[in-house]
């Protein structure tokens, strides 16, 4: 609990360890999900069709399999990088 009227959502105080842990767990689950997507796209036969869901709707459009695979790999790399940065920042906080 914040003291002296500070609220974490205002950005007035340091980020609580719970928030950092939750963000780390969320990133971890997203990484696992993205690994499954990359694996599934990698193992598809060449003649299979891939559809991309339009954001915030139930509409799907035909997409290029190789393009979707490369985008998914890039997303996975970005998530891993963000997770690593989060771990590194936690380690530097512990050292101080």
Predicted local distance difference test score (pLDDT) of residue 1:
37
Whether the CB-CB separation of 92 and 61 falls below 8 Å is answered with: no
pTM listed for this prediction: 0.72
Q: How many CB atoms lie within 10 A of CB 96?
A: 4
Predicted local distance difference test score (pLDDT) of residue 19:
74
Exposure b/e, 42-72, CB count within 10 A at least 16 = b = eeeeeeeebeeeeeeeeeeeeeebeebbebb
Mean pLDDT by 10 residues, the chain (96 residues): 41 57 90 97 94 94 96 97 90 73
Radius of gyration from C-alpha coordinates of the chain? 19
Break the chain into its structural domains and give their ranges.
31-94
Whether the CB-CB separation of 50 and 91 falls below 8 Å is answered with: no
Predicted local distance difference test score (pLDDT) of residue 16:
58
């Amino acid at each position: 609990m914040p003291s002296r009227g500070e609220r974490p959502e205002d950005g007035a105080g340091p980020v609580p360890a719970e928030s950092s842990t939750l963000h780390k767990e969320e990133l971890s689950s997203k990484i696992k999900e993205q690994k499954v997507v990359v694996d599934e796209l990698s193992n598809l036969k060449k003649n299979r069709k891939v559809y991309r869901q339009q954001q915030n709707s139930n509409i799907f459009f035909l997409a290029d399999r190789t393009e979707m695979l490369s985008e998914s790999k890039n997303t996975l790399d970005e998530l891993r990088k963000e997770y690593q940065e989060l771990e590194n920042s936690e380690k530097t906080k512990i050292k101080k």
